[in-house]
Chains A and B, each alone.
Chain A
């Protein structure tokens, strides 16, 4: 255990004492989240009494989850550095267990944030797996300035690549790309499928929803201002380089590779015809 983790433990014990009524202080206590010695981050250990009782009484070191409260109104200031693109856990109402979440900036609405939950259980014995890391990373890496930016990585332009892959799989998207070109690509990257009843949140969610990414379908929601989120931290959310986040290497390239595999030869041919049509339309 690192020194910072011990500090956190101590603060957590203080919080537990508060909840047990052994200390006559307010219902909050400050805890320091370990960040591998890089920085100390103060979190409020809040009144998730059951969580505290469970974490302490269970007697199982592996199953300790530490409540971390996020007040979304502070995401717009320096607090965002602590939480954006960092993995935490949250109660998943679909599964009734904890699932990984990641908060990302909403590139469509400056100053606003989204939250994405992977629809899979967090098992404390396994911790944050490779598949989970990929799942949060495709979200994080496709929702940052630069993804889909022309001029990125030479001719390999991932924004159009994503659009073409989806166009090869869905006639509505194909028609939209032919008629809308670049603007339609923007819509598709933002998760707005033609005729869709709702936005999916982004390209990774769209590809997962269409079965191109065989990962439990993530859900993305906008984050309102001035609400409290009850998240949880577990010690396996800390890697060798600090807190885990959306930094899986080549996540978007893998995503596109999976898209190409899902398309198959016939889908690729449709994609080629789609671009031919688009070129003819532009001529």
Chain B
């Protein structure tokens, strides 16, 4: 008889309300061991709230969540011992050296100092931070700080790693290096769940949950999600998009997208000449490309991943 495999993360019907506002409206998902799992959605979609619940910083209003089989409400301490998390905001002490930051976390987790020292040195070497180990955190570059954040999250050797918009503010090279490290972590059997609103970051995941307005609108592999869009996508901008949409709808097309017209087609190359010839208004721009996650998101939600949320969304006191 085979032993049951415990998922790294299990979420069932998770709801979180802030007063009358529903931040999460019934999230269901499962993440397996060694899986690199992305939560892709725009700012304000509920990703950070979900992470806050999974990391025991907030309690759900309804539903349940387990990490490595432990309930995030009833078994908080066990969950806290099982996870590592990189927050959007810096969570390292700026006045301490890199090495002291890692040792501090080890002390908070009650680890033996010899174990923490050994683990810290391993991580510093792996993340190319050995030379910076004695420097105060405030003197590091943005990329180094993010790597220190990653080392901080890993120093306790967690079974599950959460990354919440962990590459915010990094340049392309630093991001690439960061994700290379993360991919390596998942390859060693550790589950990694990360939140992002960058489509290209989500592409590295084994599976992606598209999240909008506190709901998961689709969950699958990147390839399967993109396959939902058919052969290709036509992006169209005209001098009068509203009239163009009416015209397209009247001829059996299904225009999607909010800022520009999006047409999902099995054979876009044959459709474009027809559109250019027959559309009764001037076409300002037309693009044909293979489906992207952005297209999938646009199709499912009518909004783009990079869409700015209203100004009223601003963070409250630095907490989200």
Tell whether A and B belong to one assembly.
no
